[in-house]
Structure 1
Amino acid sequence: MKVIGITGGVGSGKSTILEYIGRVYNARVIQADKVGHLMMETGQPGYYQVVETFGSGILNGDQTVNRAKLSALVFEKPELLAKLEKIIHPAVKAYIVEEIDKERTAGKLSLVLVEAALLIEDNYRVLCDEFWYIYAADEIRRERLKRWRGYSDEKVDRIMAHQMSAEEYRRHCEEEIDNNGELSDVYGQIDQIMKKRGIHKRQKM
Protein backbone atom coordinates (compact mmCIF):
# COMPACT_ATOMS: atom_id res chain seq x y z
CA MET A 1 0.00 0.00 0.00
CA LYS A 2 1.34 3.40 -1.03
CA VAL A 3 0.65 6.60 0.88
CA ILE A 4 0.46 9.62 -1.42
CA GLY A 5 0.43 13.21 -0.18
CA ILE A 6 -1.68 15.53 -2.35
CA THR A 7 -0.87 19.24 -2.32
CA GLY A 8 -1.38 22.42 -4.32
CA GLY A 9 -2.61 25.96 -3.97
CA VAL A 10 -6.15 26.85 -2.95
CA GLY A 11 -8.48 26.58 -5.93
CA SER A 12 -6.23 24.14 -7.80
CA GLY A 13 -8.96 21.49 -7.80
CA LYS A 14 -7.51 18.97 -5.36
CA SER A 15 -10.96 17.79 -4.26
CA THR A 16 -11.92 16.91 -7.84
CA ILE A 17 -8.80 14.80 -8.24
CA LEU A 18 -9.23 13.11 -4.87
CA GLU A 19 -12.83 12.26 -5.73
CA TYR A 20 -11.76 10.63 -9.01
CA ILE A 21 -8.96 8.55 -7.47
CA GLY A 22 -11.13 7.50 -4.53
CA ARG A 23 -13.91 6.43 -6.89
CA VAL A 24 -11.89 4.73 -9.63
CA TYR A 25 -8.98 3.19 -7.71
CA ASN A 26 -8.75 0.99 -4.64
CA ALA A 27 -7.97 3.98 -2.46
CA ARG A 28 -8.98 5.82 0.67
CA VAL A 29 -8.92 9.61 0.85
CA ILE A 30 -8.06 11.40 4.10
CA GLN A 31 -8.43 15.20 4.07
CA ALA A 32 -6.71 16.95 6.96
CA ASP A 33 -9.21 19.80 6.88
CA LYS A 34 -12.11 17.40 7.50
CA VAL A 35 -10.13 15.63 10.23
CA GLY A 36 -9.56 19.05 11.80
CA HIS A 37 -13.31 19.60 11.90
CA LEU A 38 -13.69 16.20 13.59
CA MET A 39 -11.08 17.17 16.19
CA MET A 40 -13.21 20.19 17.16
CA GLU A 41 -16.44 18.25 17.64
CA THR A 42 -17.98 18.16 21.11
CA GLY A 43 -16.24 15.57 23.26
CA GLN A 44 -12.95 15.69 21.39
CA PRO A 45 -9.90 17.01 23.31
CA GLY A 46 -9.43 19.70 20.68
CA TYR A 47 -12.92 21.03 21.36
CA TYR A 48 -12.16 21.89 24.97
CA GLN A 49 -8.79 23.42 24.13
CA VAL A 50 -10.29 25.58 21.37
CA VAL A 51 -13.12 26.83 23.59
CA GLU A 52 -10.73 27.51 26.46
CA THR A 53 -8.40 29.44 24.14
CA PHE A 54 -10.92 31.43 22.09
CA GLY A 55 -13.89 31.72 24.42
CA SER A 56 -17.57 30.82 24.27
CA GLY A 57 -18.20 33.48 21.62
CA ILE A 58 -17.20 30.96 18.93
CA LEU A 59 -19.96 28.53 19.93
CA ASN A 60 -23.35 27.93 18.38
CA GLY A 61 -26.49 27.72 20.52
CA ASP A 62 -26.04 23.95 20.81
CA GLN A 63 -22.46 24.47 22.11
CA THR A 64 -20.82 23.19 18.93
CA VAL A 65 -17.96 25.22 17.44
CA ASN A 66 -19.07 27.74 14.83
CA ARG A 67 -16.24 27.28 12.36
CA ALA A 68 -17.16 30.42 10.40
CA LYS A 69 -16.82 32.56 13.54
CA LEU A 70 -13.57 30.88 14.49
CA SER A 71 -12.18 31.31 10.98
CA ALA A 72 -13.12 35.00 10.92
CA LEU A 73 -11.47 35.47 14.31
CA VAL A 74 -8.10 33.99 13.32
CA PHE A 75 -7.99 34.93 9.62
CA GLU A 76 -6.26 38.28 10.00
CA LYS A 77 -4.46 37.65 13.28
CA PRO A 78 -1.40 35.43 12.77
CA GLU A 79 -0.86 35.02 16.51
CA LEU A 80 -4.37 33.58 16.95
CA LEU A 81 -4.02 31.36 13.89
CA ALA A 82 -0.76 30.01 15.34
CA LYS A 83 -2.56 29.16 18.59
CA LEU A 84 -5.31 27.31 16.71
CA GLU A 85 -2.81 25.39 14.59
CA LYS A 86 -0.84 24.40 17.69
CA ILE A 87 -4.00 22.80 19.10
CA ILE A 88 -5.39 21.14 15.96
CA HIS A 89 -2.43 20.12 13.77
CA PRO A 90 -0.82 17.60 16.18
CA ALA A 91 -4.22 15.98 16.80
CA VAL A 92 -4.91 15.77 13.07
CA LYS A 93 -1.53 14.23 12.35
CA ALA A 94 -1.91 11.66 15.13
CA TYR A 95 -5.33 10.67 13.74
CA ILE A 96 -3.95 10.29 10.22
CA VAL A 97 -1.02 8.17 11.44
CA GLU A 98 -3.47 5.90 13.26
CA GLU A 99 -5.73 5.54 10.20
CA ILE A 100 -2.79 4.74 7.89
CA ASP A 101 -1.63 2.07 10.34
CA LYS A 102 -5.14 0.59 10.41
CA GLU A 103 -5.27 0.40 6.62
CA ARG A 104 -1.82 -1.20 6.43
CA THR A 105 -2.89 -3.82 8.96
CA ALA A 106 -6.13 -4.53 7.09
CA GLY A 107 -4.18 -4.92 3.83
CA LYS A 108 -7.13 -4.22 1.54
CA LEU A 109 -6.13 -0.96 -0.17
CA SER A 110 -3.65 -0.03 -2.90
CA LEU A 111 -3.48 3.62 -1.89
CA VAL A 112 -4.13 6.05 0.91
CA LEU A 113 -4.27 9.68 -0.22
CA VAL A 114 -3.53 12.37 2.36
CA GLU A 115 -4.45 15.95 1.49
CA ALA A 116 -3.32 18.72 3.82
CA ALA A 117 -2.86 22.46 3.42
CA LEU A 118 0.53 22.28 5.17
CA LEU A 119 1.59 18.93 3.77
CA ILE A 120 5.10 20.16 3.04
CA GLU A 121 5.51 22.68 5.85
CA ASP A 122 4.25 20.29 8.54
CA ASN A 123 6.59 17.47 7.44
CA TYR A 124 4.02 14.95 6.25
CA ARG A 125 6.90 13.47 4.27
CA VAL A 126 7.51 11.14 7.23
CA LEU A 127 4.06 9.60 6.60
CA CYS A 128 4.00 9.61 2.79
CA ASP A 129 5.87 7.67 0.14
CA GLU A 130 5.42 10.46 -2.40
CA PHE A 131 3.98 13.95 -2.84
CA TRP A 132 1.89 14.87 -5.89
CA TYR A 133 1.38 18.52 -6.84
CA ILE A 134 -1.91 19.68 -8.36
CA TYR A 135 -1.17 22.69 -10.53
CA ALA A 136 -3.55 25.34 -11.87
CA ALA A 137 -2.62 28.81 -13.08
CA ASP A 138 -3.26 31.70 -10.69
CA GLU A 139 -5.98 33.24 -12.87
CA ILE A 140 -7.85 29.95 -13.09
CA ARG A 141 -7.59 29.40 -9.34
CA ARG A 142 -8.83 32.93 -8.73
CA GLU A 143 -11.84 32.44 -10.99
CA ARG A 144 -12.71 29.12 -9.31
CA LEU A 145 -12.55 30.64 -5.83
CA LYS A 146 -14.76 33.54 -6.84
CA ARG A 147 -17.27 31.30 -8.61
CA TRP A 148 -17.33 28.28 -6.29
CA ARG A 149 -16.76 29.90 -2.90
CA GLY A 150 -17.91 33.46 -3.46
CA TYR A 151 -14.54 34.92 -2.42
CA SER A 152 -13.73 38.56 -3.18
CA ASP A 153 -10.55 39.48 -5.07
CA GLU A 154 -9.18 40.91 -1.83
CA LYS A 155 -9.72 37.65 0.05
CA VAL A 156 -8.17 35.63 -2.77
CA ASP A 157 -5.15 37.96 -2.75
CA ARG A 158 -4.65 37.47 0.99
CA ILE A 159 -4.90 33.70 0.79
CA MET A 160 -2.65 33.32 -2.25
CA ALA A 161 -0.02 35.64 -0.77
CA HIS A 162 0.57 33.13 2.04
CA GLN A 163 0.93 30.06 -0.17
CA MET A 164 3.98 28.55 -1.84
CA SER A 165 4.90 29.34 -5.41
CA ALA A 166 4.55 26.69 -8.10
CA GLU A 167 8.34 26.34 -8.16
CA GLU A 168 8.43 25.65 -4.43
CA TYR A 169 5.72 22.98 -4.71
CA ARG A 170 7.56 21.33 -7.59
CA ARG A 171 10.79 21.08 -5.62
CA HIS A 172 9.08 18.88 -3.05
CA CYS A 173 6.86 16.71 -5.27
CA GLU A 174 7.51 13.60 -7.34
CA GLU A 175 4.55 14.12 -9.68
CA GLU A 176 2.64 17.07 -11.10
CA ILE A 177 -0.94 16.97 -12.39
CA ASP A 178 -1.94 19.91 -14.58
CA ASN A 179 -5.52 20.84 -13.68
CA ASN A 180 -6.00 23.79 -16.04
CA GLY A 181 -7.98 22.00 -18.73
CA GLU A 182 -10.74 19.49 -19.34
CA LEU A 183 -11.46 16.84 -16.72
CA SER A 184 -10.93 14.08 -19.28
CA ASP A 185 -7.35 15.29 -19.74
CA VAL A 186 -6.79 15.50 -15.97
CA TYR A 187 -8.13 11.98 -15.48
CA GLY A 188 -5.86 10.75 -18.28
CA GLN A 189 -2.83 12.20 -16.50
CA ILE A 190 -3.82 10.44 -13.28
CA ASP A 191 -4.31 7.13 -15.09
CA GLN A 192 -0.85 7.41 -16.68
CA ILE A 193 0.78 8.07 -13.30
CA MET A 194 -1.02 5.08 -11.81
CA LYS A 195 -0.04 2.88 -14.75
CA LYS A 196 3.65 3.77 -14.24
CA ARG A 197 3.35 2.55 -10.66
CA GLY A 198 1.48 -0.63 -11.51
CA ILE A 199 -1.66 0.54 -9.69
CA HIS A 200 -4.83 -0.75 -11.28
CA LYS A 201 -8.39 0.54 -11.32
CA ARG A 202 -11.07 -1.11 -9.21
CA GLN A 203 -12.63 -4.16 -10.77
CA LYS A 204 -16.08 -3.32 -12.10
CA MET A 205 -18.82 -5.33 -10.45
Structure 2
Amino acid sequence: MPCAPRHSHPPRLIGLTGGIGSGKSTVAQLLLQHTKAAIIDADQLSRALTAAGGAAIPLIAQAFGSSFITPEGALHREHMRAYVFHSPAEKKRLEGILHPMIFSTIEQAIKNASDQGHSHVVLDIPLLVESGHWRARLGQVVIIDCPVELQIRRVQQRSQLEQAEIERIIQSQASRQDRLASADVVIYNGDICLSALQTRTQAAAAFLGL
Protein backbone atom coordinates (compact mmCIF):
# COMPACT_ATOMS: atom_id res chain seq x y z
CA MET A 1 0.00 0.00 0.00
CA PRO A 2 1.48 3.40 -0.93
CA CYS A 3 2.47 5.71 1.91
CA ALA A 4 0.17 8.63 2.62
CA PRO A 5 1.70 12.10 2.25
CA ARG A 6 2.92 13.58 5.50
CA HIS A 7 0.83 16.73 4.99
CA SER A 8 -2.58 16.77 3.37
CA HIS A 9 -2.41 20.56 3.00
CA PRO A 10 0.24 22.64 1.26
CA PRO A 11 2.75 24.30 3.60
CA ARG A 12 2.06 27.77 4.95
CA LEU A 13 4.21 30.29 3.09
CA ILE A 14 5.87 33.16 4.94
CA GLY A 15 7.71 35.88 3.06
CA LEU A 16 10.98 37.33 4.35
CA THR A 17 12.44 40.47 2.84
CA GLY A 18 14.38 43.66 3.50
CA GLY A 19 16.48 46.20 1.68
CA ILE A 20 20.13 45.69 0.79
CA GLY A 21 22.24 45.69 3.96
CA SER A 22 19.24 45.15 6.24
CA GLY A 23 20.51 41.81 7.54
CA LYS A 24 17.86 39.67 5.85
CA SER A 25 20.28 36.85 5.04
CA THR A 26 21.47 36.75 8.65
CA VAL A 27 17.88 36.46 9.89
CA ALA A 28 17.23 33.68 7.37
CA GLN A 29 20.22 31.75 8.74
CA LEU A 30 18.99 32.25 12.31
CA LEU A 31 15.56 30.91 11.32
CA LEU A 32 17.22 27.92 9.70
CA GLN A 33 19.15 27.20 12.90
CA HIS A 34 16.33 27.73 15.39
CA THR A 35 13.12 26.60 13.64
CA LYS A 36 11.88 23.59 11.71
CA ALA A 37 10.71 25.71 8.80
CA ALA A 38 12.20 25.18 5.38
CA ILE A 39 14.07 28.25 4.10
CA ILE A 40 14.04 28.92 0.36
CA ASP A 41 16.57 31.53 -0.79
CA ALA A 42 15.23 33.03 -4.02
CA ASP A 43 18.46 34.94 -4.67
CA GLN A 44 20.50 31.75 -4.34
CA LEU A 45 18.20 29.97 -6.81
CA SER A 46 18.45 32.92 -9.18
CA ARG A 47 22.24 32.90 -9.01
CA ALA A 48 22.29 29.19 -9.84
CA LEU A 49 20.31 29.94 -13.01
CA THR A 50 22.88 32.53 -14.08
CA ALA A 51 26.02 30.71 -12.93
CA ALA A 52 28.27 28.88 -15.37
CA GLY A 53 26.14 26.20 -16.97
CA GLY A 54 22.95 27.70 -15.53
CA ALA A 55 19.69 27.17 -17.38
CA ALA A 56 19.24 30.88 -18.11
CA ILE A 57 22.65 31.42 -19.72
CA PRO A 58 21.78 30.30 -23.29
CA LEU A 59 18.66 32.49 -23.33
CA ILE A 60 20.55 35.52 -22.00
CA ALA A 61 23.34 35.04 -24.54
CA GLN A 62 20.80 34.77 -27.34
CA ALA A 63 18.90 37.88 -26.23
CA PHE A 64 21.78 40.17 -25.22
CA GLY A 65 24.89 38.77 -26.86
CA SER A 66 28.02 36.98 -25.70
CA SER A 67 29.52 40.13 -24.20
CA PHE A 68 27.18 39.66 -21.23
CA ILE A 69 28.60 36.20 -20.52
CA THR A 70 31.94 35.68 -18.76
CA PRO A 71 34.65 33.44 -20.26
CA GLU A 72 33.65 30.86 -17.64
CA GLY A 73 30.09 30.83 -18.99
CA ALA A 74 28.31 32.76 -16.24
CA LEU A 75 26.31 35.98 -16.39
CA HIS A 76 28.61 39.02 -16.35
CA ARG A 77 26.75 40.64 -13.46
CA GLU A 78 28.56 43.97 -13.34
CA HIS A 79 28.20 44.48 -17.09
CA MET A 80 24.52 43.54 -17.06
CA ARG A 81 23.78 45.62 -13.95
CA ALA A 82 25.24 48.74 -15.53
CA TYR A 83 23.45 48.07 -18.82
CA VAL A 84 19.93 47.55 -17.50
CA PHE A 85 20.24 50.30 -14.88
CA HIS A 86 20.11 52.89 -17.64
CA SER A 87 17.51 51.09 -19.75
CA PRO A 88 14.17 50.13 -18.14
CA ALA A 89 13.12 48.35 -21.35
CA GLU A 90 16.21 46.13 -21.31
CA LYS A 91 15.74 45.45 -17.61
CA LYS A 92 12.20 44.32 -18.36
CA ARG A 93 13.50 42.08 -21.15
CA LEU A 94 15.98 40.45 -18.77
CA GLU A 95 13.26 39.98 -16.17
CA GLY A 96 11.09 38.38 -18.86
CA ILE A 97 13.74 35.69 -19.17
CA LEU A 98 14.63 35.24 -15.52
CA HIS A 99 11.38 35.68 -13.59
CA PRO A 100 9.43 32.73 -15.05
CA MET A 101 12.44 30.47 -14.46
CA ILE A 102 12.88 31.74 -10.90
CA PHE A 103 9.18 31.33 -10.10
CA SER A 104 9.21 27.79 -11.50
CA THR A 105 12.33 26.90 -9.50
CA ILE A 106 10.81 28.29 -6.30
CA GLU A 107 7.59 26.35 -6.89
CA GLN A 108 9.59 23.16 -7.23
CA ALA A 109 11.50 23.96 -4.03
CA ILE A 110 8.19 24.51 -2.19
CA LYS A 111 6.93 21.15 -3.45
CA ASN A 112 10.16 19.48 -2.32
CA ALA A 113 9.81 21.03 1.14
CA SER A 114 6.22 19.82 1.38
CA ASP A 115 7.23 16.31 0.27
CA GLN A 116 9.86 16.33 3.03
CA GLY A 117 7.16 17.04 5.61
CA HIS A 118 7.62 20.77 6.22
CA SER A 119 4.42 22.50 7.29
CA HIS A 120 5.99 25.99 7.08
CA VAL A 121 8.17 27.45 4.33
CA VAL A 122 9.95 30.79 4.60
CA LEU A 123 10.58 32.41 1.22
CA ASP A 124 13.62 34.68 1.41
CA ILE A 125 12.86 37.04 -1.50
CA PRO A 126 14.94 40.25 -1.89
CA LEU A 127 12.35 42.11 -4.04
CA LEU A 128 9.19 40.67 -2.54
CA VAL A 129 7.47 44.04 -2.08
CA GLU A 130 8.52 45.27 -5.51
CA SER A 131 7.42 42.12 -7.33
CA GLY A 132 3.78 41.87 -6.34
CA HIS A 133 3.89 38.23 -7.50
CA TRP A 134 3.92 36.49 -4.14
CA ARG A 135 1.89 38.62 -1.72
CA ALA A 136 -1.47 36.96 -2.38
CA ARG A 137 0.03 33.53 -1.66
CA LEU A 138 1.79 34.43 1.56
CA GLY A 139 0.32 33.91 4.99
CA GLN A 140 2.52 36.61 6.50
CA VAL A 141 5.31 38.93 5.41
CA VAL A 142 8.31 39.54 7.68
CA ILE A 143 10.28 42.73 7.07
CA ILE A 144 13.83 43.21 8.29
CA ASP A 145 14.11 46.92 8.95
CA CYS A 146 16.95 49.32 9.64
CA PRO A 147 17.82 52.96 8.87
CA VAL A 148 19.07 53.74 5.37
CA GLU A 149 22.33 55.16 6.74
CA LEU A 150 23.04 51.80 8.37
CA GLN A 151 22.23 49.94 5.14
CA ILE A 152 24.86 52.03 3.35
CA ARG A 153 27.48 51.48 6.04
CA ARG A 154 26.97 47.72 6.12
CA VAL A 155 27.20 47.34 2.35
CA GLN A 156 30.36 49.47 2.28
CA GLN A 157 31.92 47.20 4.90
CA ARG A 158 31.22 44.00 2.95
CA SER A 159 31.74 45.12 -0.65
CA GLN A 160 33.82 47.36 -2.90
CA LEU A 161 30.82 49.41 -4.04
CA GLU A 162 31.01 53.17 -3.88
CA GLN A 163 28.45 55.01 -1.75
CA ALA A 164 26.78 56.51 -4.83
CA GLU A 165 26.26 53.03 -6.30
CA ILE A 166 24.81 51.74 -3.03
CA GLU A 167 22.46 54.70 -2.88
CA ARG A 168 21.31 53.99 -6.45
CA ILE A 169 20.55 50.38 -5.51
CA ILE A 170 18.58 51.50 -2.45
CA GLN A 171 16.62 54.00 -4.55
CA SER A 172 15.78 51.25 -7.07
CA GLN A 173 14.25 49.13 -4.28
CA ALA A 174 10.99 49.72 -2.43
CA SER A 175 11.21 52.53 0.09
CA ARG A 176 11.53 51.80 3.77
CA GLN A 177 8.00 53.14 4.27
CA ASP A 178 6.55 50.88 1.55
CA ARG A 179 8.21 47.80 3.03
CA LEU A 180 6.92 48.60 6.51
CA ALA A 181 3.42 49.15 5.12
CA SER A 182 3.46 45.62 3.70
CA ALA A 183 4.67 43.98 6.92
CA ASP A 184 2.81 41.63 9.19
CA VAL A 185 5.89 41.27 11.38
CA VAL A 186 8.86 43.64 11.63
CA ILE A 187 12.26 42.62 12.97
CA TYR A 188 14.21 45.80 13.66
CA ASN A 189 17.90 45.21 12.98
CA GLY A 190 19.42 48.53 13.87
CA ASP A 191 22.83 48.98 15.44
CA ILE A 192 22.48 45.87 17.62
CA CYS A 193 24.61 42.81 18.36
CA LEU A 194 23.99 39.38 16.86
CA SER A 195 22.61 37.97 20.10
CA ALA A 196 20.00 40.73 20.26
CA LEU A 197 19.02 40.03 16.64
CA GLN A 198 18.78 36.34 17.49
CA THR A 199 16.43 37.12 20.39
CA ARG A 200 14.21 39.26 18.17
CA THR A 201 14.21 36.61 15.45
CA GLN A 202 13.23 33.88 17.88
CA ALA A 203 10.39 36.06 19.23
CA ALA A 204 9.12 36.63 15.68
CA ALA A 205 9.38 32.91 14.91
CA ALA A 206 7.37 32.05 18.02
CA PHE A 207 4.71 34.60 17.04
CA LEU A 208 4.51 33.03 13.58
CA GLY A 209 4.33 29.51 14.96
CA LEU A 210 7.57 28.39 13.37
Q: Same fold (TM over 0.5)?
A: yes
Residues 1:187 and 2:194 are matched in the alignment: no
Deviations 1:93-138 (A, max 9, x none): 111112112212321x353221223212322124422110000111
Q: Please name the residue that 1:178 is paired with.
A: 188
CA distance in 2, matches of 1:145, 1:171: 24
> Residue 142 of structure 2: SS of its match in structure 1?
strand
Deviation at 1:13, TM superposition (A): 0.8
Identity between Structure 1 and Structure 2 (%): 25
TM-score when normalising by structure 2: 0.85
Q: Which residue of 1 aligns with 2:109?
A: 99
Flag the 1:145–1:41 CA change in 2: closer, same or farther, 3 A: closer
Structure 1, unpaired ranges of 5+: 200-205
Amino acid in structure 1 at the alignment position of 2:173:
Q
Match of residue 203 from structure 1: none
Deviation at 1:182, TM superposition (A): 1.6
Tell me if structure 1 keeps the 8 A contact 2:53–2:74: no
- Alignment pair present for 1:51 and 2:65: no
In structure 2, the gaps of 5 or more residues are 1-10
RMSD: 1.9
Measured after TM superposition, the shift of residue 73 of structure 1 is 2.9
Distance 1:144 1:41, change over 3 A: closer
Aligned to 1:17: 27
Q: Paired residue for 2:125?
A: 116
Q: 1:148 aligns with which of 158, 161, 168?
A: 158
Q: 2:176 aligns with which of 138, 156, 166?
A: 166
Count of residues in Structure 1 that have an aligned counterpart in Structure 2: 198
Q: 2:87 aligns with which of 69, 77, 82?
A: 77
With 113-122 and 177-186 compared, the bigger mean Cα shift is at 113-122
Query: Aligned equivalents of 1:26 and 1:53: distance in 2?
Result: 41
Runs of 4+ aligned structure 1 residues displaced above 6 Å come to none
Query: Structure 1 length as normaliser, TM-score?
Result: 0.87
Deviation of residue 42 (structure 1)? 5.5
| Residues 179/69 of structure 1: CA separation in 2 closer, same or farther (3 Å cut) | same
> Is the CA contact (8 Å cut-off) linking 1:97 and 1:127 kept in structure 2?
no
User: Deviation per CA, 1:19-58, whole angstroms, max 9, x where unpaired?
Assistant: 1111222233222222112223455542221011110112
